[in-house]
Amino acid sequence: MPFASLGLSSALLHAVDARGYEQPTAIQQAAIPAILRGTDLLALASTGSGKTAAFALPLLQQLQDRPQQLPRPTHALVLVPTRDLAIQVGDSMRELARQLERPVKLAAVYGGVSINPQMMALRGGADVVVATPGRLLDLVQHNALKLADLKVLVLDEADRLLEAGFADELQRVLALLPARRQTLLFSATYPATVQGLAQAVLNEPLRLEMPGGTQTPAAIEQRAVQVDAARRTPLLRHLLEQQGWSRVLVFVASKYATEHVAQKLRAGGIAAAAFHGDLSQGARSHVLADFKAGRLAVVVATDVAARGLDIAGLPVVVNYDLPRSPQDHVHRIGRTGRAGQAGLAVSFVSATTEAHFRLIEKRQGQRVPREVVAGFEPTEAAAPPAGNGGIKGKRKSKKDKLREAAARDGSH
């Protein structure tokens, strides 16, 4: 099915062409006509499915079709869990809107930076506001924007929006919005919290479940390498050289580890940088730009910092530390294999993390054969199962609490 059959204006078809999109992705085929009809949407789709354009294109079309007013009433609000995603979604939409006859005013607002320039940007109104919930509430409190005339609400990465103590902020934002509106909910996973949200905010939605929504997208090859924990950095260096990987996103469990591993790689002559929530917005943008431009071969990140990152064509993701939950695993490996391209996700598994990796395999319904790399054969024996092995239990662990704190740091 070509883009031309989805009901988009010729200006938008031109924009799609200018971005080099030849065919709509599965979610775009299903979602674009439905959104143009005014239907609510529940889409289980992860990053890499083309979900951003799936909502951005019909939103832009709606804006082209409506009468112009000044100050501009906010037509659409896109809520995202992190500032990086806010920047990214804002950039993608701006790119698609660039050649439109009627200029569309977009504002991306997020925490971690001064509020004043964002208040200035909202003067005279903005047609589309892309926001993290915390900063949006601050701006509303400053009377910097009004949401009374909102027509469309997009919840992007809804599972993430509900994570780590954000649910309250989200509820407070929802309370500010007109009840009569179109709501589009996108989520990579569909836990009970998201089901509850969907029931509360959606009105007879069209439900789209994309392959790879909660399962691993098929275009991603997974490998698991057994290695002693202490030998992971040398193994990573070895693989970078031997496999000729040009751009790798490496996941670790803590901010400290991002710095530590990146520094070890740099000492070995590899262009590597750390990426975590304590970096300033400027430093984060810098790392991202260098990575996208190919000046960095490796970015070492925490889950929180890397959430929702869109680095087109990222070929390899490495789980240096295993993700805490199977859902995090889906999010991590969703960074590779974008929009139909093949991707590779490599997990380092040690004797102590083997049981945890088995749980991830079970949840994703896919076994990953264990491999050993010559020169890095594991010497540690599996420890007898003790406690819950770091697997999510009912009570919050110390790590859970730290993670929640980190999520707050990283997203406001």
42-71 residues in contact with ligand AMP (CB under 6 A) are: 47-53
Nearer residue to ligand AMP within complex by CB, 28 or 222 = 28
CB of 52 to ligand AMP, least distance (A): 3
| CA pair distance 347, 320, nearest whole angstrom | 6
Nearer residue to ligand AMP within complex by CB, 156 or 169 = 156
| CA pair distance 292, 312, nearest whole angstrom | 8
Nearer residue to ligand AMP within complex by CB, 91 or 354 = 91
Piece of 20-28, 115-123, 319-327, 344-352 that binds ligand AMP (CB under 6 A): 20-28
Nearer residue to ligand AMP within complex by CB, 232 or 338 = 338
| Residue 160 in the binding site for ligand AMP (CB under 6 A) | no
Nearer residue to ligand AMP within complex by CB, 85 or 265 = 85
CA trace torsion 163, 44, 308, 219 (10° rounding): 140
Q: Which helix (H) or strand (E) holds 209?
A: strand 206-209
Piece of 16-24, 104-112, 175-183, 359-367 that binds ligand AMP (CB under 6 A): 16-24
- Is the alpha carbon torsion for 292, 186, 212, 333 positive or negative? positive
Nearer residue to ligand AMP within complex by CB, 127 or 310 = 310
Task: Return the closest-CA partner of residue 162 out of 191, 183, 135.
Answer: 191
Task: Return the closest-CA partner of residue 35 out of 148, 190, 183.
Answer: 183
| Residue 25 in the binding site for ligand AMP (CB under 6 A) | yes
| CA pair distance 125, 128, nearest whole angstrom | 9
Q: Which helix (H) or strand (E) holds 44?
A: strand 41-44
Q: How far is CA 95 from CA 9, 99, 232, 351, in A?
A: 16, 8, 40, 47
Nearer residue to ligand AMP within complex by CB, 75 or 307 = 307
**# residues contacting ligand AMP (CB under 6 A):** 16
CB of 61 to ligand AMP, least distance (A): 16
| CA pair distance 162, 87, nearest whole angstrom | 20
| Strand, helix or coil for residue 223 | strand
| CA pair distance 310, 271, nearest whole angstrom | 20
332-371 residues in contact with ligand AMP (CB under 6 A) are: 338-339
CB of 51 to ligand AMP, least distance (A): 5
Nearer residue to ligand AMP within complex by CB, 247 or 392 = 247
Please name every residue paired with 131 in a beta bridge, in sequence order, or none if there are none.
79, 109
CB of 316 to ligand AMP, least distance (A): 16
| Strand, helix or coil for residue 163 | coil
| Residue 13 in the binding site for ligand AMP (CB under 6 A) | no
CB of 262 to ligand AMP, least distance (A): 24
* Assigned token pair, 299: 């970015």
CB of 69 to ligand AMP, least distance (A): 29
CB of 310 to ligand AMP, least distance (A): 4
**Structure-token match 């749980």, residue found:** 359
CB of 343 to ligand AMP, least distance (A): 12
* Assigned token pair, 132: 């993290």
CB of 24 to ligand AMP, least distance (A): 5
| CA pair distance 193, 325, nearest whole angstrom | 16
Nearer residue to ligand AMP within complex by CB, 314 or 318 = 314
| CA pair distance 398, 151, nearest whole angstrom | 42
Residue from 1, 289, 312, 372 touching ligand AMP (CB under 6 A): that is: 312
List residues binding ligand AMP (CB under 6 A): 21, 23-25, 28, 47-53, 310, 312, 338-339
